[in-house]
Amino acid sequence: MGRGGARSPLPWLGALLLVYLGAPIVYFLYRLATTPARGFHDPGLFPAFWVSLQGATIATAVVTILGVPLAYVLARHRGPIVAVLGVLVMVPLAVPPVMSGILLIYLDGPYTPLGQFFGGRLTTSLIGVVLAQTFVSAPFLVVTSRAAFSAVDPTLGNVAATLGHGRLGRFLRAEVPAAAAGIRAGMVLTWLRAFGEYGATIVQAYHPSSLNIYTYIQFASTGLPGTIAPTALALGVAAAAVAVSRLVVVRYRRRRHDTGALPVPRQPDIPAPSPLYFDVNWRLGEFRLSVAHRAESLRLAVLGPSGSGKSVLLRCLAGLYGRGPGPVAYGERRVEAIPIERRHIGYVAQGFGLFPHLTVWEQVLFARDADPRIAAYWLEALRLDGLERRLPSELSGGQRQRVAMAQALSRSPDVLLLDEPFSALDTPVKVELRRELRQLQREAAVSTVLVTHDPEEAALLADEVIVVIDGHVLQQGPTRDVYDRPCSPVVADLLGVRNVFAAEVTDDGRLRCDGGILLRAPTLAFARGTSVLWRVRPDDVHVSAPHRAQPGAGAGIDVLDARLDDLSWLGTRVEARVALAPGLVLEADGSHLGGLVAGAPVQVAISPEALRVWVVREERVELAAPATAGDGRSG
């Protein structure tokens, strides 16, 4: 510890608490070692100890079976009813234990309807002890498990659903293991609290005596000497319970399933083409998504900024919102009425959605219908062989991405849905995995829907693209057409297409742009007054200092006065931004503008042949539903 740490009061404050907690135990152990008559031979000791042991174990089992599902519901739902249930769970912590026992007597006492139904035995048997222990200890498990479930990424349940697991399977195989650490801690606290319960037990069930009631009787009759044996047993049991819980955690963390020899890889069969059709109209809170499309190819990208509804659309196509969003078809198969676990899709979520407790081999076999031979093929194809026994925490970001892909592909899905799969990766890894996915699309021949905000990614991995913003389609169609002719400057910006501006065709066929700038362009096909968009590549914008000869300048070339807005070195190139008017700023090659600074006057030369001009058109999409044959409504 450094000097600053040595002067810190924090360790001393913690040490004072430890002394306070440990001193009574040290003094008791000294008394235990030096007292000859400890009371271990008293005939009532071990029967009372056995009552407490049985009761605590049964109570913990009951609380676990009932409390874990309750904790999951409280963690996953919101609203006034859930708030009331949360308060109700906390009541046994707020009420003194003796009062808890009195509350129970109102329910199961010998003169209540419930007590009379059981012949008054609820308060004169081990059942009474269990009821008291269950009531006071249940909050410990529910509270800790609720916190654990709240920390579990809901994506895990979604991924499990797309891999064919129903609601119970998702809960038991995906979400409970992910929350296991919190559940185990809650079970230990519940057992210890139940074993140590006294106040509610003495009111609810005085006989048979638990260890705590026996200890009180001994103290009242013989003083401290009679309490040595039961106190020693209680301390030993507490230490054993904590030790066992730690041992279980360590063994769980070290566990690895031996995969043995992997099966002989088998290349998956090429599936029947399944281009998507959908007409989604869905409200999520205040956000409304309205997107319709009939794909003509197997590779579709949905492009838009954050918050535009891309991921919501993908979840609609997967079935995570049920049938409410509207008709969806994979090829000719209507699926909106089919439960998500039976749609036979592959889904790669943001953050990959890998199960933290499963090894790589277990991940790729997690789907209910995963084929081990096909899983082995994808492990090899995605360069994951040799990593079969690793957990997700032991993999790099690129490896986790490949595992998520292999997991989705091991069931040979009809459709592969990819939700920004590369957004969390470094650029070199991202570039590499894009190329791998492009190759995978060719090999698997599976219909893919890629959600992304990266225009380069969409262009590389899709034959068709939908541009969305605020839940609505701005433009859609074949990728090359959309990139070549964006329908607005906003779409051009989202596509990463530079130097796209609006203009109007004048009487003499020129373009009137913002600020009254006039440009010659190939506009013979357009009538006067037509609203158009025009584009020029940055390489075709020639910038120079004033009165310096322009490269390629001559008759018919527009040379315009401008201002250097910015000059940026981007590692592999120098980019210049030149302002012809306040709303007309062009990007250009600035590698030959050394010595100029922002704000300097420049001249810009643009050849008419370098301009591309097209008419502004608004998108209107009307789609007919696919044939209802095999629509999946029968399951």
Kindly state whether residues 353 and 405 are assigned to the same domain: yes
Q: For the domain that residue 534 is a member of, what is the CATH number?
A: 2.40.50.100
| Residue found under tokens 């909050």 | 139
Kindly state whether residues 449 and 535 are assigned to the same domain: no
Cβ contacts of 314 within 8 Å, gap of 6 or more: 302, 347, 417, 419, 449, 451
Kindly state whether residues 96 and 220 are assigned to the same domain: yes
Per-residue model confidence as pLDDT tens digits over 285-344: 899 999 999 999 999 999 999 999 999 999 999 999 998 999 999 988 899 999 999 999
Give the DSSP per-residue string, 503-523: EEE-TTS-EE-GGG-EE----
Distance CA 581, CA 578 (A): 9
160: pLDDT confidence band, cut at 50, 70 and 90?
Answer: very high
Is residue 568 situated within a structural domain?
A: yes
Identity (one letter) of the amino acid at 153?
A: D
Distance CA 161, CA 153 (A): 14
Q: For the domain that residue 377 is a member of, what is the CATH number?
A: 3.40.50.300
Is residue 179 situated within a structural domain?
A: yes
Tokens for 348? 């790669």
Distance CA 276, CA 626 (A): 10
Whose CA is closest to 231, among 247, 212, 244, 248?
212
Is the alpha carbon torsion for 493, 497, 503, 505 positive or negative?
A: negative
**Whether pLDDT at 367 is above 60:** yes
Is residue 402 situated within a structural domain?
A: yes
Q: Hey, which residues does 291 pair with through a beta bridge?
A: 280
Contact predicate 293/467, CB 8 Å = no
On average, the pLDDT of the chain sits at 87
Distance CA 434, CA 438 (A): 6
**Whether pLDDT at 256 is above 60:** no
Give the three-state DSSP class for 397. helix
Kindly state whether residues 344 and 407 are assigned to the same domain: yes
Distance CA 508, CA 531 (A): 15
How high is the pLDDT of residue 425? 78
How high is the pLDDT of residue 620? 44
254: pLDDT confidence band, cut at 50, 70 and 90?
Answer: low
Whose CA is closest to 198, among 222, 240, 227?
227
Whose CA is closest to 301, among 500, 496, 536?
496
Distance CA 484, CA 487 (A): 10
Tokens for 584? 């007309």
What mean pLDDT do residues 255-267 have?
72
**Angle, in degrees to the nearest 10, between helices 397-409 and 372-381:** 150
Distance CA 479, CA 298 (A): 12
Cβ contacts of 516 within 8 Å, gap of 6 or more: 581
Kindly state whether residues 239 and 315 are assigned to the same domain: no
Q: Hey, which residues does 612 pair with through a beta bridge?
A: 535
How high is the pLDDT of residue 634? 32
How high is the pLDDT of residue 595? 78
Contact predicate 525/556, CB 8 Å = no
Last residue of a domain, one of 198, 222, 254: 254
Per-residue model confidence as pLDDT tens digits over 541-570: 999 888 665 555 555 688 899 999 999 888
Kindly state whether residues 513 and 474 are assigned to the same domain: no
Kindly state whether residues 104 and 183 are assigned to the same domain: yes
Is residue 380 situated within a structural domain?
A: yes
Per-residue model confidence as pLDDT tens digits over 121-148: 888 889 999 999 999 999 999 999 999 9
| Residue found under tokens 């070339």 | 557
Kindly state whether residues 369 and 518 are assigned to the same domain: no
Last residue of a domain, one of 427, 450, 484: 484
Kindly state whether residues 101 and 247 are assigned to the same domain: yes
Identity (one letter) of the amino acid at 93?
A: L
Kindly state whether residues 211 and 240 are assigned to the same domain: yes
Kindly state whether residues 234 and 364 are assigned to the same domain: no
Contact predicate 151/133, CB 8 Å = no
Is residue 587 situated within a structural domain?
A: yes
Per-residue model confidence as pLDDT tens digits over 18-60: 999 999 999 989 888 888 878 888 899 999 999 999 999 999 9
622: pLDDT confidence band, cut at 50, 70 and 90?
Answer: very low
Distance CA 211, CA 227 (A): 10
442: pLDDT confidence band, cut at 50, 70 and 90?
Answer: confident
Last residue of a domain, one of 254, 289, 304: 254
Element of type H or E holding 476: strand 472-478
Distance CA 619, CA 17 (A): 70
Q: Considering all CA atoms of the chain, what is the largest pairwise distance in Å, rounded to the nearest integer?
A: 118
The most confident of the ranges 34-43, 189-198, 249-258 is: 189-198
Kindly state whether residues 411 and 460 are assigned to the same domain: yes
The residue range of the domain holding 198 is 23-254
Distance CA 169, CA 407 (A): 17
Is residue 549 situated within a structural domain?
A: yes
How high is the pLDDT of residue 419? 92
Angle at 503 between CA 497 and CA 508, to 5 degrees: 130
Is residue 311 situated within a structural domain?
A: yes
Higher pLDDT, 164 or 253: 164
**Whether pLDDT at 621 is above 90:** no
Is residue 13 situated within a structural domain?
A: no
100: pLDDT confidence band, cut at 50, 70 and 90?
Answer: very high
| Residue found under tokens 């009474």 | 128
Tokens for 303? 């492009």
Domain count for the chain, please give it.
3
The dihedral over CA atoms of 379, 383, 384, 386, expressed in degrees to the nearest 10, equals 110
What mean pLDDT do residues 615-623 have?
58
